Structure 1
Amino acid sequence: IAINQDDPSQWYVAVGSGGVWKTNNAGNTWQPIFDDQTSYSIGCITLDPQNPFVVWVGTGENVGGRHVGYGDGIYRSTDGGESWENMGLKESQHISKIIVHPENSDILWVAAQGPLWSKGGERGLYKTTDAGATWEKVLGDDEWVGVTDIIIDPRNPDQLYAATWQRHRNVASYLGGGPGSGIHRSEDGGVTWEELKKGLPESNMGKIGLAISPQNPDIIYAAIELDRRTGAVYRSSNRGGTWVKGADAVSGATGPHYYQELYASPHQFDRIYLVDVRAQVSDDGGKTFKRMKEQYKHSDNHVFTFRKDDPDYLLVGTDGGLYESFDLAENWRFITNLPVTQFYKVAVDDAEPFYTIYGGTQDNATQGGPSRTIYASGIHSSHWFITHGGDGHQPATEPGNPDIIYSESQEGYLSRIDRTTGEIISIQPQPEADEEFERFNWDSPILVSPHSPTRLYFASQRLWRSDNRGDSWKTVSGDLTRNQERITLPIMDKTWSWDSPWDVYAMSTYNTITSIAESPLQEGLIYVGTDDGLISITEDGGLNWRTVEVGDLPGVPKTAFVNDIKADLYDINTLYIVLDNHKHGDLNPYLLKSNDRGNNWKSIKGNIPERTLVWRIVQDHVKPELFFAATEFGIYFTIDGGSKWIKLTGDVPTISFRDLAIQRRENDLV
């Protein structure tokens, strides 16, 4: 968040998935100002202290999460967001902080975390002396070490502090630190750097948040992630020369990678805020912390912003949107009109006269709402409702009975909801007493069989079937994954011991089924795909299975993740598969077709651009050659079965489209 301190009603808000938004009236109305650019995921935003019309934006989320969006560098606007220019660092993917020199607008420092899923790219601290025309890398390495935070001494712009961060995530696991993480100081404007060590931990460090005291800039604060989700806050009173350990405070919940930024109050000496699932605040420079009061406020705090003219004011960004306090967190006002909810998956029912749309969201439950309304004023927020809490994922509906819906939260916590009675029943299938635990994907797949509206398919590492809406289940397969021990798999180019900086709780369950399809033309002809590169096929409802390695498909890497499988609506032998390999650093699209039940394949990605992940494909129910593809940067359609794709435009912003559904009665694409 960037507040124009000369006009505190003007805010710029950078959204992890949703571009940049601007308000000139403290949130009463908003204007999206980044929708036409080539990235939608934003890591940071900064105003030029000498000219608030100059806005700098760093693209790519600044966290290490499982579903982060990636960017294409740094952007500048010289007219308050009316127009933008990409100023380079296009291979950085994740930019976390931008500082503009307080006296010379041509000088900037940029903290680039660098690619999360692969080594290399543009990672580290970059400096420009010509307003972004050229960049010089001054800190970090060429493989795994980027920079996640940077602060500047307000008395002396040559005095800088930076936090390096070594991390890597792939499909299987996440390593959130390493010997490359640390705190560094420069006294010559970033030309040279020295690592600060005296009094700091000697073990591997992870994500580090830095803050400098506005009242006494000799004092530096650092929130340091240590081994396996531990951590502490350190304080230096001599510009980083020596450090004193304070409280064992560290961001928790999803993991330090998701938070860990530190903010020093401009109004009260030694008051610091540590962002967290519930924010932590210290009034003694980090010796002790307490939880900030957050009644009637969403959790998962990411950014704090202050006003120089009001010591009681806070503006906080969370997973649930923006919150404003005028009394130092005693009470909060939710900014209700910023439409930036992230949706994982979508489903539609066949209710009359207007069908209902359901969407599973990131940290904002599963939501349902009408497709149309009889009210002249249109659809209101109050017409929408919550079906299930947590992160919502794949919803499903029962054909012919819109009162029955299915919703789930993280890792397969599946429920059946009866909208008539309001009854919610947990129906997640469970192993028998003598069986191993079930591995459910973070976003577990559910399928209502096209042959029976009460038959469900659900998946862990095995495929499950229920013929009574989930009241009872039976398995129709064994383990269809590779069933590996992921801690033994390479990450950062090698295998690591247990005492390495793992964050197990930040990892998604691995070796899981991610996609299910059943042919509408043959009962029991079922296809499933996994997160570890396997496709399994049964033609007899699960009595017999055969497996295909995705690496045997033309042009597909062996590590590709199966995003979607669809059986053709018209041809019993044809199916389609959507894969992606971005968690191994490969951002290219993979979309294939088989005409013989998975024995042979050909690519139908056509002219879908490189660096464009494909998430979902749907076939039209009227025209066999008409398909729609949901991608990382828009929706595409083809009228020739995939030889040529055309991007839908109109009022569609640059955003990630994760799912598509067709409501056949109304011929609507949702």
Structure 2
Amino acid sequence: MRGARFTCYVGAFLARPRRFAVLARIAALVALGAILSPTRPARAQVAPYDSTALAALKWREIGIFRGGRSVAVAGSASRPNEYWMGTTGGGVFKTTDGGHTWLPVTDKYFGGTIGAIGVSESNPDVVYVGTGEYPIRGNVSHGDGVWKTTDGGKTWTHLGLEDTHQISRVRVHPSGPDTVWVGAQGHAFGPNADRGVYKTTDGGKTWRKLLFRNDSTGISDLVLDPSNSTVLYAAFWQAQRKPWQLISGGAGGGIFKSSDGGENWTELTHNSGLPTGLLGNIGLAVSPAKPARVWALIEADSGGVYRSDDGGATWRYVNGERKLRQRPWYYSRIFADPKDSNTVYALNVLAYKSTDGGATFRRLRDPHGDNHDMWIAANDPQRMIEGNDGGANVSTNGGKTWTDQDYATAQFYHVTTTNHFPYRVCGAQQDNSGVCGPSRWPGGIDRAQWYDVAGESGHIQARPDDPDITYGGDNSGFLARVDHKTGFWRSIDPWPDSPDGHPAGEGKYRFQWTAPLLISPHDPRVLYIGGNVVLKSVNEGQSWTPLSPDLTRHDPATLGVSGGPITSDQTTAEYYATIFALAESPLRKGLLWAGSDDGLVHVTRDGGKTWTDVTPRDVAPFTRVSIIEASHFAPGTAYLAANRYQLDDLAPYIYRTIDYGRSWIKIVKGIPATEFVRVVREDPTRRGLLYAGTERGVWVSFDDGASWQSLRLNLPIVPVHDLAVKEGDIVAATHGRSFWILDDISPLRQLARAIPRESVHLFKPRDAYRVDWGGGFGGGGSDAHPVGKNPPTGAMIYYWLKNKNQEVKLDILDAGGRL
């Protein structure tokens, strides 16, 4: 069936919200196809509906229009207003007006995390994109190789290298767009052979691997000599993520040079002046003003900025300041000014600039913290673009001022909704803040309508009986309560000690980066938070009581120093053996489920007095239990989403129990074998209707998980970290494209066996509202000042027809039967 949606506006705006009923009478109908298969009772497998059956449903982007992390930026010397931004989750964006307006250009082809962008200087319409960011955070997403456009981003072609996963650099030959070098970091979470330097001379039709170290060492940086494109420098980085640890540095690290376009390489690692011992992440730069001058920003025991003035033959240690090598695995980028051989930029938490050959660095006015990438125009050193944890910014005055970051590439970990009218959407944005904003607003949802709440990486919760009171979580178990009417803010941490700088095993409690926080559905004063134990508060966080023993494996091997062997990066981001998922049954008070990030599931049916290990038999150790959804229909029923991508296993895992966890059934049929799952939710009104968020979108099941089909529709290809069902809408928290809402899922709830046999079917409209907004809802905003979209004005009416090519007429009647 090709779905059709008809929207109508009924009556005038009222002075206050009021619900009204919509009656419809169908006079003549047009055939739009047929639904191919009906739903059946729960757990009886249903053949997927034809994709056109759901085509009338559309996701809408609501924002927040505030940027998220970008580690890949690029521009063109010949096009001063054209720049490219790679997001970490949301695909590629492009601006043609100097950074004032940014638009996504890859949504119809690919998305997700972007590691590198290479623009051809000889033909700037030719652009190569390497997917998979190389700063390998604990929740880093993987890419699918290299993509290419020859028309400035209108269309794209996939060029292979799928199993590289993380790509750090793409370099295009300055004289011809068909010759390209790619620096591949490789898998973040395990060994693989698709790493090193690759080259194509036919525009990506074929690739050759020219430089390889070993299956755990990849390329962290790759640069060309601007005066001689046959000269390349490559930096190797031995790195691997485990769920509880980052290994940054090893015997495979080093620097190499080629003088024949990459065909042959000479190792420079042991040349005079470079640090001895283990090397970690390395950034490289060649001075266009003095090509024999090469810079290296090196992670090592004696790390810092090194400089060679003879093409890498010898080196000198010029700066070891700690500010340039904080968390070196995450930064370690260095860039040379194209005109001045003594000017160089180093990126870290802050951005820095040296004008004395690297001896001293002063802070550059950066637009956002955590700086990752930079591109400087070869013909104008005042013109640059910089990538950071807030997105990308353009400067035309050497970094004195920058463009804004008003694009919707925010990375959210979770989503919750409030009981305001209209309801609000809340979540914690990576490296920014927790926010709440309206689900609709007159003229569009402007950035000004969003307001800060506590938290940055954790869960946000709003009291159901007083939604102006919110609770927000951050890493390390930090919590706060905020009364938004009075502005009163209060810390409600469950434990007073800060764990920063300590291994996970040293503290009394361990909390994940995004520790679960929930309000009891039975008492709005009761809060739960998951650490290594479940803690409960009955007074809004003023005091906390442990409710369980340690519900994790607490394997000592996973509780040690989280960084090494060079840098002990103990920020608590890698804290492990923690409760990652927590849920209380909406049907039975004191029935709680807890799932750990190391692969255990427990349930209590007596408010925490006793806990039972109910881990599914085929859930392997160290599997992350990401979400547990307690059923709205039966207290013994629950669903869990789990993943093992941090163990280099990309398979989806969703399970269902109907007997309090005594047995579980795996329910993933239809979801691709390499599309891992982060969330599963049950529809609260139709039993057996489930929704799942994966690394690439949203899926729906009409048969209690027996089969799944895509519900991505017009949603970009983006990691979906959480879903919420609110007032007949689905709200998606994406990790790279902010929040999206699928309005009015009445058709999903009403699809039934009899519908295909009917000559016509009108889906019962949900309740609609007339509201005095002083002008009503409008589109609002502009490309330069985008705002979140509103739903259609009036009632949304869905119908389908069996016969074709006839006129459709819908009469809307009031409650008295009058037109």
**Fold shared by both chains (TM-score > 0.5):** yes
Q: CA deviation at 1:130?
A: 2.2
Aligned letter for 1:343? F
Could you tell me how far apart the structure 1 residues matched to 2:319 and 2:167 are? 29
Aligned equivalent of 1:370, options 426, 438, 452: 438
Aligned equivalent of 1:380, options 435, 439, 446: 446
Note the alpha carbon deviations across 1:466-499, whole angstroms, 9 max, x for none. 11111111111121112233468899xxxx9x76
Aligned letter for 1:399? P
Aligned pairs (5 A) from 1:219-368: 219-227=293-301, 231-249=303-321, 255-294=327-366, 297-330=367-400, 332-352=401-421, 354-368=422-436
2:26 is matched with: none
Could you tell me how far apart the structure 2 residues matched to 1:252 and 1:580 are? 35
Aligned letter for 2:485? T
Q: CA deviation at 1:387?
A: 1.3
Could you tell me how far apart the structure 2 residues matched to 1:301 and 1:174 are? 20
TM-score by length of 1: 0.93
Alignment size in residue pairs:
652
Name which one, 1 or 2, has greater alpha-carbon Rg.
2
Mapped contact 1:176–1:502 kept (Cα < 8 A): no
Could you tell me how far apart the structure 2 residues matched to 1:99 and 1:85 are? 18
Could you tell me how far apart the structure 1 residues matched to 2:602 and 2:324 are? 38
Could you tell me how far apart the structure 2 residues matched to 1:252 and 1:641 are? 52
Aligned equivalent of 1:426, options 491, 500, 525: 491
| Distance 1:46-1:628 versus aligned 2 partners, 3 A rule | same
SS of 1:660's equivalent in the other structure is: strand
Mapped contact 1:567–1:574 kept (Cα < 8 A): yes
| Distance 1:50-1:436 versus aligned 2 partners, 3 A rule | closer
TM-score by length of 2: 0.77
Aligned letter for 2:684? H
2:473 is matched with: 408
Mapped contact 1:617–1:630 kept (Cα < 8 A): yes
1:504 is matched with: 570
Aligned equivalent of 1:443, options 514, 521, 526: 514
Note the alpha carbon deviations across 1:482-524, whole angstroms, 9 max, x for none. 2233468899xxxx9x765553347511111111011122211
Q: Which moved more, 1:399-408 or 1:332-341?
A: 332-341
Structure 1 residue 177 corresponds to structure 2 residue 231: no
| Root-mean-square deviation over aligned CA pairs | 2.2
Mapped contact 1:449–1:457 kept (Cα < 8 A): yes
Aligned pairs (5 A) from 1:92-107: 92-107=164-179
Structure 1 residue 69 corresponds to structure 2 residue 141: yes
Q: CA deviation at 1:86?
A: 0.9
| Distance 1:409-1:286 versus aligned 2 partners, 3 A rule | same
Aligned equivalent of 2:87, options 4, 15, 24: 15
Could you tell me how far apart the structure 1 residues matched to 2:325 and 2:551 are? 31
Could you tell me how far apart the structure 2 residues matched to 1:594 and 1:650 are? 29
Q: Which moved more, 1:210-219 or 1:403-412?
A: 403-412
Aligned equivalent of 2:586, options 478, 500, 520: 520
Mapped contact 2:353–2:363 kept (Cα < 8 A): yes
Could you tell me how far apart the structure 2 residues matched to 1:68 and 1:50 are? 33
Could you tell me how far apart the structure 2 residues matched to 1:517 and 1:252 are? 43
Mapped contact 2:475–2:572 kept (Cα < 8 A): no
1:532 is matched with: 598
Mapped contact 2:428–2:435 kept (Cα < 8 A): yes
Q: CA deviation at 1:56?
A: 0.2
2:189 is matched with: 117
Q: CA deviation at 1:147?
A: 0.8
1:44 is matched with: 116
Aligned equivalent of 1:544, options 595, 606, 610: 610
Q: CA deviation at 1:668?
A: 6.7
Q: CA deviation at 1:291?
A: 2.1
- Give 5+ residue unaligned stretches, structure 1: none
Q: CA deviation at 1:183?
A: 0.3
| Distance 1:234-1:122 versus aligned 2 partners, 3 A rule | same
Q: CA deviation at 1:252?
A: 6.4
- Give 5+ residue unaligned stretches, structure 2: 1-72, 499-505, 733-740, 742-819
Aligned letter for 2:282? I
Could you tell me how far apart the structure 1 residues matched to 2:497 and 2:409 are? 42
Aligned letter for 1:647? S
Aligned letter for 2:464? P
2:292 is matched with: 218
Mapped contact 1:305–1:316 kept (Cα < 8 A): yes
| Distance 1:254-1:387 versus aligned 2 partners, 3 A rule | farther
Mapped contact 1:392–1:407 kept (Cα < 8 A): no
Mapped contact 1:403–1:420 kept (Cα < 8 A): yes
Aligned identity (percent) is 37
Could you tell me how far apart the structure 2 residues matched to 1:350 and 1:487 are? 40
1:570 is matched with: 633
Q: Which moved more, 1:451-460 or 1:207-216?
A: 451-460
1:168 is matched with: 240
Aligned letter for 1:604? I
